Amino acid sequence: MKKIALITGVSGQDGSYLAEFLLEQGYEVHGLIRRHSTENLDRLADILQSPYHKVKFFLHYGDLTDSSNLIRLVTQIKPTEVYNLAAQSHVGISFEVPEYTAEATGVGTLKLLEALRLYGGSCRFYQASTSELFGGLEETAPQSENTPFYPKSPYGVAKLYSYWITVNYRESYQMYACNGILFNHESPRRGENFVTRKITLAVANIMAGKQEKLSLGNLNAKRDWGYARDYVIGMWKMLQQDKAADYVLATGETHTVREFVEEAFAHVGITLRFEGSGIEEKAYDAKTGRLLLDINPEFYRPAEVELLWGDASKAERELDFKREVGFKELVAMMVDADMKKEAGTK
Ligand code: NAP
Ligand code: GDD
């Protein structure tokens, strides 16, 4: 049978890696994109310049909040696999736009599932669920498929709806529908306002003399950071099983934001000296005494998830989920990519 994938959120970090991977596997790939006043398809540049474009790779305008558009696209494309990656995916910003986040990140999933139910057929469905579902229950770490949920943001609550509506459609309509409960995953394609990329960009800019210092919020938050390309392979594997199920993807390691900053500066030969605590905390170049990091409470969130630390043993066992890139390599890869880009703009 011809394999046809529809990816919502194809212009995002994960969407772009997944599209590349599926094309390599021989799929015909369709991506949903939104209209912007200036095009934002940078992450898809390689595919758009490749022989795949308009032969095996097709883009369609649409929006997860527009059900008639989703019904039309599903009927027209006739996908065998749908990856629902589209979302207002920034946790901090979800406090600023809670209603829109509920519409896109929550109810949008229902609209897509309904489009698939109306279309009929045996299409498989992947929902981009998240470790933000675990949120506030620190005592339950490391977190697995059996850990209770306690979201701490409008984003987390919207994703909770999407998680359960996916389970509900699996149970009610015998759809092959999976939740991938993914812990943070990063790459040089990460959005610039997520903390890892903000840090690696700042390191590159500071080294180039274009930025004085880096300002962050909560340095104590702990995250389980993996590499995005490893995780999209895990997504695909979830849809290749005999029976649909939900899986955690994680590294099993957790690090503070402070450790990420230290590692990123260390990679360019700068040792940081930290002083103070809370909003008074600062970090200096240990050699020169130059101020490189301070705290700006603007980046604190009204409610915070302090600890994410995943247990991916089910995915390792059942999907043979593997991680090729560890924490230090990930930081190095991101800093190097931003340094290279920086050098290219001179
Ligand atoms: P991302 O880079 O922020 O990409 C999000 C994508 O969704 C973009 O292509 C965006 O399009 C699209 N989008 C946003 N609102 C939309 C709407 N209303 N209709 C259609 N498309 C819309 O996110 P990511 O890091 O690749 O993450 C992919 C998915 O996994 C998201 O659902 C995220 O919540 C989830 N997730 C991510 C992580 C992680 O650590 N990266 C972990 C767990 C779960 P534009 O380009 O037009 O903005
Ligand atoms: N963005 C950001 N900017 N975060 C900061 C900053 C800052 O200046 N300073 C400290 N942080 C802290 C946040 O408070 C949070 O505790 C941590 O750094 C990580 O923030 P983000 O990189 O924005 O990611 P996230 O963990 O909130 O959410 C990401 O991972 C989720 C999976 O756990 C996103 O990709 C979500 O879409 C995803 O579901």
Q: Is there a contact between 62 and 32 (Cβ–Cβ < 8 Å)?
A: yes
Q: Which ligand is nearest to the CA of 59?
A: 1
**pTM of the predicted model as reported, rounded to 2 decimal places:** 0.98
CB of 97 shorter than 6 A to ligand 1: no
Atom of ligand 2 nearest to the CA of 132: 33
Atom of ligand 1 nearest to the CA of 132: 43
Q: What is the pLDDT of residue 346?
A: 59
Distance 69 CA to ligand 2 centre (A): 31
Strand-strand pairing, 185-186 and 177-182 = unpaired
Distance 105 CA to ligand 1 centre (A): 9
Q: Taking the chain (346 residues) in consecutive chunks of 10 residues, what is each chunk's mean pLDDT?
A: 97 98 98 96 98 98 98 98 98 98 98 97 96 88 96 98 98 98 98 98 98 98 98 98 98 98 98 98 98 98 97 98 96 98 79
Give the residue, by CA position, lying nearest to ligand 1 atom 38: 184
Distance 13 CA to ligand 1 centre (A): 7
CB of 234 shorter than 6 A to ligand 1: no
How far is the C-alpha of 342 from the C-alpha of 38, rounded, in Å? 22
Q: What is the pLDDT of residue 22?
A: 98
The phi-psi region of residue 9 (left if phi > 0; otherwise alpha if psi is between -120 and 50; otherwise beta) is left
Burial of 38 (0-12, 13-18, 19+ CB in 10 A): exposed
CB of 31 shorter than 6 A to ligand 1: no
Distance 223 CA to ligand 2 centre (A): 8
Please, which residues bridge with residue 29 across strands?
A: 5, 57
Please, which residues bridge with residue 274 across strands?
A: 283
Q: Which ligand is nearest to the CA of 134?
A: 2
CB of 89 shorter than 6 A to ligand 1: yes
Q: Which ligand is nearest to the CA of 293?
A: 2
CB of 29 shorter than 6 A to ligand 2: no
